[in-house]
A and B are shown apart, each in its own frame.
Chain A
Amino acid sequence: MFALVIGAGLFLAIIEMVRRRRLAEEYSFLWLVTGAGIIVLVLWYDLLEKLTRFIGAMTPTTTLFIFGFVFLMLINLHYSVKITELTKQVKDLAQKLAIYDKEK
């Protein structure tokens, strides 16, 4: 029940943030998938047990931790890619600005 509340809460909070434009749709995707994943696994406990057997874990908790960990890694990687892109854009902008300033 607790997990269901967390999952549903996360899902709704993200939709609300996208609605208020505090979170871009692009970033919401991974989070929404996580929220939905939690809800699905809570409602469909069989799937969680099957997954647990599939990955060779002893308890369903381990499965949840592993998926949680993988998710955090993915989202961090995604941020690193974004930061790289933003750094390049900031560099190009600063260079353009400096050259523009010089020519003014």
Chain B
Amino acid sequence: MSNELKNNFAIIMPAYNEARRIAPTIAGIRKYSNADIIVVSDGSTDGTVAEAKGAGASVIELPFNMGYGAALQTGFKYALKKEYEFAVQMDADGQHDPLSIQALIQPILRGEVDIMIGSRFLSEGTYRAPFVRRMGMYFFGFITSVLTGRKITDPTSGFQALNKKVMEFYASKAYPVDYPDADVIIMLHRHGFRFREVPVVMHNAAKPSMHGGIINPLYYIFKMVLSILVTLMRKE
């Protein structure tokens, strides 16, 4: 990573109760990048905040738990305020391998695209989703591919790199804060943003996914279908 770009580029990590995972994640990132790391603690009640600060990250503390999307959006709002030109969003639990940061950010720094989406399915990572989840990913991947006219293999990926224009979009009211996902890719497409997928390495998370349980996946499917439908109905 070249030094002149250092101050323009932040890594944004929403974290909810990630003590014992967040410090190794930050240490891992440091091996590959010296970018500023912004951790958004989503109302964590364990040692997440202290651990992240101890590891050298800049920590924003939300007063209560608001969910992944709202925490992520907070990070973008802060990054915009601090006038970062580019950002990488990644998970705090070590699922996203920092080895892939460069592959994500380089095309953005070169101005080739507005947003790069890391796909776990284009690479040889250790990630294996449970059957139902895999079906869901294929289903939404298919819909997203049809609607955007290009092949999207991993529409649920939270490992992305983006420029300021996309950060502004993510910080706006248009961003769906409850489960930002395949619907966001369709929104990006309809707003004319340029995006591309790149292979990234992901590992299985050490803790249950936010899509776990029985009610959550059902709500997720409902929300995603509805969100995609209304996105298509909006004139933008």
A residues engaging B (CB < 8 A)?
88, 91, 94-95, 97-99, 101-103
Contacts and interface: CB of A to CB of B under 8 A. Distances in A.
A95 to B, nearest CB: 4
Contacts of A97: 63
Interface of B: 40, 58-64, 66, 70, 73-74, 77-78, 81, 173, 177
A91 B63 contact: no
Contacts of A103: 81
A94 B73 contact: no
Nearest to A88: B173
A7 B70 CA distance: 45
A97 B60 CA distance: 10
Contact of A102 (B60, B66, B73, B177): B60
A91 B81 CA distance: 17
A91 B70 contact: yes
Given A99-B77, A99-B81, A102-B78, A91 B177 contact: yes
Which of A88, A94, A97, A101 has its CB near the most chain B CB atoms (within 10 A)? A94
B167 to A, nearest CB: 14
Name the residue in A91, A94, A98 with the highest tally of chain B Cβ atoms < 10 Å from its Cβ. A98
Contacts of B70: 91, 94-95
30 contacts: A88-B173, A91-B66, A91-B177, A94-B62, A94-B64, A94-B66, A94-B70, A95-B62, A95-B70, A95-B73, A95-B74, A95-B77, A97-B63, A98-B40, A98-B60, A98-B61, A98-B62, A98-B63, A98-B74, A99-B60, A99-B74, A99-B77, A99-B78, A99-B81, A101-B60, A101-B61, A102-B58, A102-B61, A102-B78, A103-B81
A88 B172 CA distance: 12
A91 B40 CA distance: 14
- 6 shortest interchain CB distances as A-B pairs: A95-B74, A102-B60, A98-B62, A98-B60, A99-B78, A91-B70
A103 B74 CA distance: 13
A88 B59 CA distance: 23
A103 B61 CA distance: 11
A103 B58 CA distance: 11
